[in-house]
Amino acid sequence: MAVAVATITMAPVLALAKGNHPMAGCGLGYVLLSNKDNSKVTQVLGATTNGTSGNQTFGISSGTSGCTEDGAVKIVKAAEVYADVNLDSLRREMATGEGEYVRTFALLLGASQQNVSPLVSVFRSEYPTLFPSATTSTADLLASLEKVLNQHKDLLS
């Protein structure tokens, strides 16, 4: 009985911890609402947004908005835009492992508040991979970051 209760109460937490989508699934609702909070209200709002915007179909067919076939980490559009606008600040703060820009970026990638610092530490330790040269572009950063994040999926919940 205790195992069944523990399994039922832990299922939402485990679903997020393993990098799987919460109940609402991928799409615009996932990006805007349901990727950090697995409460019923948030998941209903996320599912409603996914259903009414028609964005989930686009996300599934294009591999965006958190939709993937293999569960691999895909960087959402909001994080891409943020990285593009704030590339110099991210470069500086990822090198030092601290700062508001890099912490916000971690949140946009899907890290919970408790996983922001560990993820920022990963950015710092992987800095030579993320920024191999002074001319590293946003596209280069995001390509490298996707590979790094696939090794740290546990930090994106």
Q: Which of 39-43, 70-74, 119-123 has the lowest mean pLDDT?
A: 70-74
Which residue pairs from 103-110 have beta carbons closer than 8 angstroms and sit at least 24 positions apart in sequence? 105/79, 107/36, 108/76, 108/78, 108/79, 108/82, 109/75, 109/76, 109/79, 109/149, 109/156, 110/35, 110/36, 110/66, 110/76, 110/156, 110/157
Q: Is the pLDDT of residue 78 over 50?
A: yes
Please tell me whether the overall predicted TM-score, pTM, comes out greater than 0.95 for this model: no
Is 66:92 a contact under the CB 8 Å cutoff?
A: no
Return phi, psi of residue 76, to 5°: -75, 160
Say which residue the tokens 């606008």 belong to.
Answer: 85
Higher pLDDT, 28 or 3: 28
Q: Which of 19-23, 48-52, 122-126 has the lowest mean pLDDT?
A: 19-23
Per-residue pLDDT averaged across 112-134, rounded? 95
